[in-house]
A = this chain, B = another copy of it.
Amino acid sequence: MNNKLHVAIYGASGYAGYELYKILKKHKEVEIDYITAESSAGKMLSEIFPVTDDVRIVRNEDVKIDRLDAVFLSLPHGAAKSAVEKITSSSTRTKIIDLSADYRFDDPDEYEKWYGQKHTSPDFLDDFVYGLTEINRQAISKAQFVANPGCYPTATILGVYPLLKKKLIDISKPIIIDAKSGVTGAGRKAEVRLLFAEANENISPYNIGYIHRHTGEIEQELKKIANANPKIIFSPHLVPITRGMLNTIYTKLNNDVATRELTELFDKAYQGETFVKVLKDDSIATIQHTVNTNLCVISVKRVENSPYAIIVSSIDNLVKGAAGQAVQNFNVMFGINESESLI
């Protein structure tokens, strides 16, 4: 074993897991000891993805956990809980970055409400820090366990944070989030609705209103920022792009603030941040601003003759919305340059 940080990626046969593999392979301080995938164990990675790397996939049980500095969990909701329980019982020092929703909620009842299953290790919930790096950097730097945010929550929370923090939003009105996501956001599942012939030349709203699972996660975090109870309406749409996510957010302002002032406010809120960029003037964020990057690009404008503002927030769902932010958190947790392997 060398001086590098030794890590495992659980669930490397999914899109986020594979993205983790690609990012961590370039990481100067990291050695990937294991990549796992229960259903593909024994296969080479090149049998799953169009790559030329000679790497074999193993089972979770093949991992020698005590040798590892960190484990990235890119498992389905529910499966992450079991993995966390096993890892923590095998090694007290190994850090965990969990990309599932299993430890994102503070309250196990909220988890049960949105995910339809009882939480089996609620005691751990307190030990997990919600890993929205720009907002919780301090706590993440000291955390052993990080719950990496969902993709929609990442784009949404970063989009409204500066306004909510400054109490500029009229929270008596719902914050309306019309979200558009690429197809990798739904995971690498052989479902008819995700077939090329179904998703191409189509746009499908799904779970609109107040029923998508990320709704609860967004509300929990906005509450903490606002120190109040903002209501949200959240409408995701499946669009025919492979990766990328664009949230168009409509919100009523408390004060009379012009577009220029709003932009300055956002600029200030994200000053010094490598991975959040606020567009100037009349530019509007698009998917292509962020695809294949760890950036969240945001534009904000005041609607003409109206107290409403429109914020457009763009991320790559697999990078800042999943694997990239996971590595960003890993870097913070281990005191490494935050943008290592992410630029």
A window 129-151: CB within 8 A of B: none
A253 CB to nearest B CB, Å = 13
- Contact yes or no, B194 A197, CB < 8 A: yes
- Residues of chain B within 8 A of A250, CB atoms compared: 176, 178, 233, 235, 250
A233 to B202, CA, bound (A): 24
The answer, among B15, B197, B284, B303, for a CB contact under 8 Å with A206, is B284
- Contact yes or no, B239 A209, CB < 8 A: no
A180 to B179, CA, bound (A): 11
A196-B200 contact given A235-B248, A289-B52, CB 8 Å threshold: yes
- Contact yes or no, B287 A201, CB < 8 A: yes
Q: Could you give, for residues 188-226 of chain A, a 1 whenever the CB lies within 8 Å of some chain B CB and a 0 otherwise?
A: 101110111111111111101111000000000000000
A11 CB to nearest B CB, Å = 15
- Contact yes or no, B233 A306, CB < 8 A: yes
Does A63 sit within 8 A of B, measured CB to CB?
no
- Contact yes or no, B284 A208, CB < 8 A: yes
- Contact yes or no, A286 B203, CB < 8 A: yes
Tell me how many chains of this kind the complex includes: 4
- Contact yes or no, A308 B190, CB < 8 A: no
A26 to B343, CA, bound (A): 8
A208-B306 contact given A52-B279, A242-B200, A286-B50, CB 8 Å threshold: no
The answer, among B173, B210, B279, for a CB contact under 8 Å with A305, is B210
Does A288 sit within 8 A of B, measured CB to CB?
yes
A192-B197 contact given A203-B286, A233-B308, A343-B26, CB 8 Å threshold: no
The answer, among B205, B233, B284, for a CB contact under 8 Å with A205, is B284
A306 to B234, CA, bound (A): 12
- Contact yes or no, B209 A248, CB < 8 A: no
A287 to B240, CA, bound (A): 11
- Residues of chain B within 8 A of A308, CB atoms compared: 174, 176, 233
A239 to B240, CA, bound (A): 8
Given contacts A201-B291, A203-B246, A233-B250, could you give 14 more A-B pairs where the C-beta distance is less than 8 Å? Answer: A50-B289, A173-B173, A188-B192, A190-B192, A190-B195, A194-B197, A200-B200, A200-B242, A203-B241, A205-B246, A205-B284, A208-B301, A209-B303, A237-B248
A residues contacting B by CB (< 8 A) are: 15, 26, 46, 50-52, 173-174, 176, 178, 180, 182-184, 188, 190-192, 194-206, 208-211, 231, 233, 235, 237, 239-244, 246, 248, 250, 277, 279, 283-289, 291-292, 295, 297, 301-306, 308, 310, 312, 343
